[in-house]
Amino acid sequence: MKRLLSIGLLIWVAFLFCGCDNHLIRLVNLQDRAIVQGVGIDWDGKQYIVTMQVFSPEGSGGQTMVDASKENARIITCYGQTVAEAVEKSALNQGKEFYLGHNRIVILGHKAAQRPLEGLLSYFVNSMDSRPDVSLLMTSGKAADIISANISQSILPAMSIENTVSNAERNGLTEEVFLFDVLEALAQPYRSTLIPFIEEETEGKEDEKDLRSIKIQGLGLFANEKYLGEIQGEEVTGLLFLRNKMNDAFFSLKTEDFARAAVQLYSSNTALNLDGSTLTANITCEATLLELELYDNAVFDNDALLELEKELEQKIREDCIWAFEKTVQMRADVYYIGDRIWKENSDWWEELKKTWPVGMEKLSLECQVDVDVLRTGLQRTQTY
Amino acid sequence: MKTAQISGAQLVLLLFLCRSFNMLTADMHNVTGHYGMEQLLAIPLSLLLQALIALPAFLLMKKSNRGMTESALWTAGKTGVIFPMISCVYLVTVTGITIFNLASFLANAIYPGSSALFFAIALTAAAMFAVYLGLEGLSRAAVIVFFFFLISLFLTTVGVSERIQLLNIRPLEQDSLSVIIEGAWKIFARSSTVYLFVLLVPYVKEKKGKSFIWYLIAVGIMMEVVSFLVTAVLGELGVTEAYPFFMLTTIAQISIFQRMDALHVSIWVMVCFLRVTLFLWVMSRQLHAVLPVRMRENGRERWILPFLSILSVILAAIMLGNRKTADFMLNSISTGIADLVLMAVLPSAFLLVGALRGLFEHQKKEESL
């Protein structure tokens, strides 16, 4: 009898653990889930507008469930005083429960980005199934426009956007920023953070969906949860060097010997040191010569390469100084200088910390760049 | 109930895992208010403190050649019952907090909307069954879980290594010494496994002293690694996170392994199961030793384990249902008074009583004969 009771108990427990009891372990069937791939947040002055791109597979009639040539996504828009309220209110007009576990991007519209950042993102921190490695982006217009842009370079539009940002980061054009990175910077009141700035690429005809894409415009800077402004172009390059986030950046240069030369970095390292009120950036890079066009009388030798290296060093130095000046002007401590002062000179930090990043302007930047073009492809330099 | 003895290495692995449970929740982990050098320096100091405070208990066991409960009864007679009674109250509380921690973590982070009490009951039921399998079986299971734990810790470390920022480690400040000392005390107060070591010494075959040193070293290294990772990767964010190490696992990415958190949670559940089982086993042994002979003859001892298990679940349920009670329980167990009384005050008192009654000299003579 005891054995029978034990077996019965075990079977009952087994049923509980496999999720056959909805009271003890809450479960939602897959068909009742709306798998969110991307979220756009806008603020209309009174309430949040949350636009979600939901995975909706469109088969081509063949064996596969997902047709890569289709959008495979539908757009759901909801409104609320808070992001959570907007998401909850979506239950009024659609019958599925949102699942944020596969969410790839969160895009902040321009007005939403003006709101206190920590409060804006707190939903994604506290939401049970949201993950901290979701990519954060912002746009100068409405996030809804980007989310519903039907970019079809990949199986899913959100995936296309995420891939674009990742690719740009690999090429040293931007920094991919995750929710976690922003939360980490916000937790330390002296630090500033940044978010990539994107725009919808409007080239191509309206019906040419394949040509639609997004373009990385720059980086939006935030300090004390507030949006400060945007930096673009060479300032972004300099900022990435100073933050030691530079990857395989590409540079086009001209020297006395080279009418045109293309160099790509394959290794870069920046060490920031604080000496009194001087911030020293020691940047060491290794690069590949990808393309060259010599002037008629010029020779491709070591001297020509050295000159090229010097030119690139000067270019990087200028970019870094521009970026530093711009961020100091905007009072954005994206290099965590405050932390360095705290470590190096705690007495000075006691004076500065009350108003930091006000006080950044007292610092100057000294840039020491060392570039080695160690790889010259299949061409060799003349040694005679 | 099986009572086979285990080796020193098995005990070290078992208690190492039980201690690792505390590293995963912020309540039991963050002891200096802010992560940084203070936290990293408080760890070795706390290990020294633990060794010093456990000294009277070890001395008593060595002089009496008995376990802690038996030594208490031997030196102080019936008054010695006070020791297993206080000990069981303390261990039940720690078990209840452990069950509460796991159940609230699962209901908060893994299965939102589910019944936390269900997890508490299911875990305790499984632990009850494991208690019947005995200490040896538990130790063998711990060896397997230990390797999974190491793999998980290694993969997490590699997965977040790119995000390590030494700038996140807060430098020492003017009042750091007092913060370090306070932190060391708090770590000691949350190290109930040191007390478990003391209670489990009689079940260890050999190298008891060395095992204790190895246990302290292993726990120290683990705490330093976890604290360093949390500090260097999360920085100040770690202070506001309820489960800082879980946060690390969610961002750790190694090649195709993008869900380190899933691996981590499954290992954490196993560690929690081992911990609850060990606590229940130790409590059962203690109460068994003080149970009147008549009750033992009537077979009442079989109710000890269900009684303790139900008590632990009730405690966890109360904490799950009332946040104030949960805070009160966590704060009161974190004072360190219970550990101090059980490992230093009472053993010192029993040593004194034993010396006054000449019991140790008598024991020595008997042994020499």
Instruction: Provide the CATH number for the domain around residue B60.
Output: 1.20.1740.10
Q: Provide, as residue numbers in chain A, all residues whose Cβ is less than 8 Å from the Cβ of B114.
A: 24-26
Asked if A184 is an interface residue toward chain B (Cβ–Cβ < 8 A), one would say yes
What are the CB-based long-range contacts (under 8 Å, 24+) for B173-180?
A: B173/A346, B176/B37, B176/B38, B179/B32, B179/B33, B179/B38, B179/B42, B180/B32, B180/B38, B180/B41, B180/B42, B180/B45
Structural domain includes residue B112: yes
Please state, in angstroms and rounded to a whole number, the distance separating the CA atoms of residues B326 and A361. Answer: 49
- Stretch A320-338: mean pLDDT: 91
Give the integer Cα–Cα distance in Å for A214 and B133: 62
What is the Cα–Cα distance from B87 to B345, expressed in whole angstroms?
13
Question: Is A101's Cβ below 8 Å from some Cβ in B?
Answer: no
Angle between helix B192-200 and helix B8-20 axes, rounded to 10 deg: 160
For residues A230 and A334, is the Cβ–Cβ distance under 8 A?
A: no
HSE-up of B214 (CA within 13 Å, CB side)? 14
Q: Chain A: residue nearest B162 by CA?
A: A245
| CB contacts < 8 A (A, B) | 55
3-state secondary structure of A64: coil
Instruction: List chain A residues with CB under 8 Å of B33.
Output: none
Q: Determine contact, residues A42/A109, Cβ cutoff 8 Å.
A: yes
* A112-133 CB burial, b ≥16 within 10 A, e <16: bbebebeebbebbbebeebbbe
Are the Cβ atoms of A16 and B111 closer than 8 angstroms?
no
Q: Give the model's pLDDT for residue B130.
A: 92
Give ∠ CA B133-B107-A5 in degrees, rounded to 5: 40
pLDDT > 90? residue A149: no
Contacts of A128 in chain B (CB under 8 A): 108-109, 112
CB contact under 8 A, A346 and B122: no
**Per-residue CA distances from A46 to A86, A112, A137, A147 (Å):** 13, 11, 22, 21
**Mean pLDDT, chain B, whole residue set:** 87
Reply yes or no: is the peptide bond before residue A357 cis, omega within 30 of 0.
yes
Highest averaged pLDDT of the listed ranges A15-24, A94-103, B95-104: B95-104
Instruction: Please indicate, yes or no, if residue B240 is contained in any of the structural domains.
Output: yes
Check if A9 contacts B (Cβ < 8 Å): no
Q: Please give the single-letter amino acid code of residue B133.
A: L
Which pairing describes strands A278-294 and A364-375: parallel, antiparallel, or unpaired? parallel
- Mapped onto helix, strand or coil, the DSSP state of residue A108 is strand
Question: How wide is the angle at C-alpha B98 spanned by C-alphas B92 and B104, nearest 5°?
Answer: 130
| pLDDT of B3 strictly over 80 | no
pLDDT tier for residue A60 given thresholds of 50, 70 and 90: low
Residue A5 sits at the chain B interface (C-beta within 8 Å): no
Assembly ipTM: 0.80
Does any CB of chain B come closer than 8 Å to the CB of residue A24?
A: yes
- Token pair 């393309």 in the structure block, residue: A291
Separation of first and last alpha carbons in chain B: 34
The CATH T-level fold of domain A242-384 is GMP Synthetase; Chain A, domain 3 (3.30.300)
d(CA A41, CA A86): 10
Look at residue A1 and tell me whether its pLDDT is greater than 80.
no
What's the pLDDT band for A196 if we cut at 50, 70, 90? very high
Q: Return the pLDDT at A357.
A: 83
Q: Do B118 and A132 touch (CB under 8 A)?
A: no
Residues 6+ apart with CB under 8 A from B98: B21, B272, B275, B276, B279
The confidence score (pLDDT) of residue A16 equals 64
Has residue B32 got a pLDDT over 70? no
Q: Is-contact B141 B134, C-beta < 8 A?
A: no
Listed range (B24-38, B83-97, B262-276) with the worst mean pLDDT: B24-38
Partner A contacted by B253 (CB < 8 A): yes
- Residue B255 CB: number of other CB atoms within 10 A? 7
Q: Locate the domains of chain A by residue range.
A: 29-224, 242-384
Q: Please determine, for residue A179, whether its predicted confidence score (pLDDT) is greater than 50.
A: yes
User: Which residues of chain A make contact with B236, given a CB cutoff of 8 A?
Assistant: 184, 187-188
User: Above 50 in pLDDT, residue A8?
Assistant: yes
**Lowest-pLDDT range of A162-176, A342-356, B210-224, B316-330:** A342-356
What is the structure's pLDDT at A203? 62
pLDDT tens profile A288-315: 988 888 777 777 778 888 888 999 999 9
Cα gap A193→A36, rounded to integer Å: 26
Put simply, the answer to whether A184 touches B108 (Cβ < 8 Å) is no
Put simply, the answer to whether A184 touches B237 (Cβ < 8 Å) is yes
- Domain of B18 in residue numbering reads as 8-362
Task: Give me the torsion for CA of A142, A143, A148, A151, rounded to 10°.
Answer: 110
Output the average pLDDT for chain A: 83
Nearest Cα residue to B247 out of B234, B256, B232: B234
d(CA A234, CA A314): 13
In chain A, residues with a C-beta closer than 8 Å to the C-beta of B173 are 346
Closest Cβ opposite residue B234 in set A128, A184, A342: A184
Q: What is the pLDDT of residue A217?
A: 87
Q: What are phi and psi of A18, to 5 degrees?
A: -85, 5
Give Cα separations from A121 to A75, A118, A303, A366, B110 (angstroms).
21, 5, 53, 36, 20
- A12/B109 Cα distance (integer angstroms): 25
The backbone torsions φ and ψ at residue A310, rounded to the nearest 5 degrees and listed phi first, read -65, -40
Looking at chain B, the whole-number percentage of residues with pLDDT higher than 90 is 44
Does residue B56 have a pLDDT over 50?
A: yes
pLDDT for the residue numbered A67: 63
pLDDT tens column, A65-75: 656 666 667 88
> B118 and A133: CB-CB below 8 Å?
no
Average pLDDT over residues B23-42: 74
Per-residue HEC secondary structure of chain B comes to CCCCCECHHHHHHHHHHHHHHHHHCHHHHCCCCCCEHHHHHHHHHHHHHHHHHCHHHHHHHHHHCCCHHHHHHHHHHHHHHHHHHHHHHHHHHHHHHHHHHHHHHHHHHHCCCCCHHHHHHHHHHHHHHHHHHHHHHHHHHHHHHHHHHHHHHHHHHHHHHHHCCHHHCECCCCCHHHHHHHHHHHHHHCCHHHHHHHHHHHHECCCHHHHHHHHHHHHHHHHHHHHHHHHHHHCCHHHHCCCHHHHHHHHCCECCECCHHHHHHHHHHHHHHHHHHHHHHHHHHHHHHHCCHHHHHCCHHHHHHHHHHHHHHHHHHHHHHCHHHHHHHHHHHCCCHHHHHHHHHHHHHHHHHHHHCCHHHHHHHHHHC
A384 three-class SS: coil
**Residue B3 falls within a domain, yes or no?**
no
Residues in chain B: 369
* C-beta separation of A197 from A239 below 8 A: no
Query: Is residue B348 in some structural domain?
Result: yes
Residue B251: pLDDT over 80:
yes
**A279/chain B closest Cα distance in angstroms:** 15
Q: CB of B359 within 8 A of CB of B209?
A: no
Please report which helix (H) or strand (E) contains residue A50, including its range: strand A48-55
Going from the C-alpha of B268 to that of each of A309, B78, B145, B260, the distances in angstroms are 53, 40, 10, 12
The tokens describing B124, both together, are 């305790």
* Residue B2 binned pLDDT confidence (cut-offs 50, 70, 90): very low
- Lowest-pLDDT range of A123-137, A144-158, B198-212: A144-158
pLDDT digits (tens, 9 = 90+) for B286-311: 988 888 777 777 777 788 899 999 99
Query: Do residues A376 and A292 make contact, with C-beta atoms less than 8 angstroms apart?
Result: no
Confirm whether B368 is domain-assigned: no
- At residue B258, does pLDDT exceed 80? no
Domains: count for chain B: 1
